Chain A
């Protein structure tokens, strides 16, 4: 088989895979009508979107951000406050507010990014945590957030039996949008510049990448979908409280899910989120005692990190590659880690 032919076959395979996955996801609430299962599915979608969006910044740039709950909570509050103050009735109209939640989150991301991105890698992690705590504290203590009693969102008049489905499908649309965005970034010159920053920031800058602007753009871009699903999540719950809106576990979960699936890959973080969030929900329901739950979760987590240190998707890809190489009886040459830097250099020349 010639390379061009195998490339075309591969493209068709991927296309078929995407179509199949979409069909399965779209049919899920029709096949599984148990509300407990579909509500887990809604939560899982929220995390799939959030992790995919987080990956656009942290995965591609290599800057570990542990404060994206700020965008989740702020998007949620934006939608809740707007729905209350503009007298939304509840129903499909509130979904129209979700892009507004995303915009608010993105707007908040601009000053945060400007400040936090002055620092490099390790320090950046902690600065994002610090900013996260500032927001959490503000949400607890400012008057317009309703403090600990929170804000109620309008009740959606959906039929009880299929109440979860509208939330599910809106979540699915946002997921498709986010993955498409991630794919577009990954393929673009912008994405290459991000990867170059990840591989060697000093060199990327030397080659003419406007590192500051690129990082900020990715940071803001990653905030938008998270703000949207923040609104979706709290509309689904019917209420928003500071401790759920700005939850440190949300921050760390995104990183964990992305690492599990394969950080910096397109589908890895989404798969990681799907597996982990579903597992987490299942554990909460089936394991009695919060202590046991924590132990089981932590031990599983450690096992995965130690057995698959690079995440599921990269490990599997490597496995497939090495098998194919063996089948073709020719060794594949490892892609050099700084290939992105070279491509950028090529693009600039």
Chain B
């Protein structure tokens, strides 16, 4: 193992970490406003990947232009799921029940995908998926760069939406205190619905990049959701900045361990890091102790 390969691993970790940050930001946004742990987030990423796959294979629509269709489609799915299932859950045991409901949603989506696409692994292809650019002695696959770029742009857009617009203030208010937000005239239900829509819509982009960098089948969502949950918890649940930092942190560790030790044990470090961090900081790296400690 050389220094160069180690540095290459760090770069890979940062690039993939950006995409994980985007997917995790969606998950933590949903948790933040709804107190809902969306177990289906993983399979939704896979669904996003299959949508891109269907568009490119059957209709000849490229992966990037295809996002103009898949992102709104996933937004609508998120809104529909919030409307039909999530808002029916009672406030008192919502988090526990949400795990079950979203898990059931995940099973249904996985079943539909299995019916349509079968269980064979597929991968997304495009001219820029298989090529790399050579910079300062490192190979950077274009798709990683595109994915990272997209993720950064979308995360900035999300930040702007949450911290610079009236809608964002409404989201943050309902995140802090539902009753108070209600009292000052915020339509909390609508804010929540749209937030869930946004949280799910980002999986279309995450799914496209995930599908281009990994072979996937309908069951790939489980591995993904466990990693995303680890990231979200590590960042402190409900903290979007924390999720981003934790995603990059975890993926860098993951890739460095894969190079320095062995790819087999890389996921172990992923979860071990989570357990160790939480043993010392139960609220996560960026969570505040008081918030959501209940």
Contact = CB atoms under 8 A, between A and B. Distances in A.
Given A141-B264, A302-B104, A131 B271 contact: yes
Contacts of B88: 306, 309
B152 interface: no
Contacts of B90: 309
A293 B283 CA distance: 39
B100 interface: yes
A123 B237 contact: yes
A339 interface: no
A122 B291 CA distance: 12
A291 B114 contact: yes
Given A248-B222, A298-B111, A309 B99 contact: no
A30 B227 CA distance: 48
A64 B39 CA distance: 14
B272 A134 contact: yes
Contact of B37 (A122, A256, A309): A122
A205 to B, nearest CB: 13
A305 B108 contact: no
B83 to A, nearest CB: 13
24 contacts: A64-B96, A115-B278, A119-B282, A120-B282, A121-B95, A125-B37, A125-B99, A126-B229, A126-B274, A130-B271, A133-B226, A134-B275, A289-B114, A290-B111, A291-B112, A291-B113, A291-B115, A291-B116, A294-B114, A295-B107, A298-B105, A298-B106, A298-B108, A302-B85
B293 interface: yes
A340 interface: no
A255 B249 CA distance: 31
B233 interface: yes
A95 interface: no
Chain A contact surface mostly: helix
A130 B269 CA distance: 11
Interface residues of B, number: 50
Nearest to B266: A137
B102 to A, nearest CB: 10
Given A129-B229, A294-B110, A134 B265 contact: no
Nearest to B284: A123
A256 B162 CA distance: 35
Interface of A: 64, 66, 115, 118-123, 125-127, 129-131, 133-134, 137-138, 141, 248, 252, 255-256, 259, 289-299, 301-302, 305-306, 309
Contacts of B282: 118-120, 123
B4 interface: no
Contact of A294 (B100, B107, B283): B107
Nearest to B225: A129
Contacts of A120: 282, 293-294
B119 A290 contact: yes
Contact of A293 (B103, B111, B226, B233): B111
Which one of A137, A292, A297 has the greatest number of beta carbons of chain B within 10 Å? A137
A309 B89 contact: yes
A297 B271 contact: no
A117 to B, nearest CB: 10
A290 B114 contact: yes
B190 interface: no
Interface string B62-88: 000000000000000000000001001
B101 interface: yes
Given A138-B268, A294-B111, A298-B107, A305 B101 contact: yes
Q: Which 3 A-B pairs have the closest CB atoms?
A: A294-B111, A291-B114, A291-B115
Interface in B100-143: 100-101, 103-108, 110-116, 119
Nearest to B271: A130
B177 interface: no
A248 B39 CA distance: 12
Contacts of A297: 107, 111
B67 to A, nearest CB: 26
A290 B36 CA distance: 28
Interface in B280-294: 282-284, 292-294
Contacts of B264: 137, 141
A126 B230 CA distance: 7
Nearest to B39: A252
Given A118-B279, A119-B278, A130-B230, A309 B107 contact: no
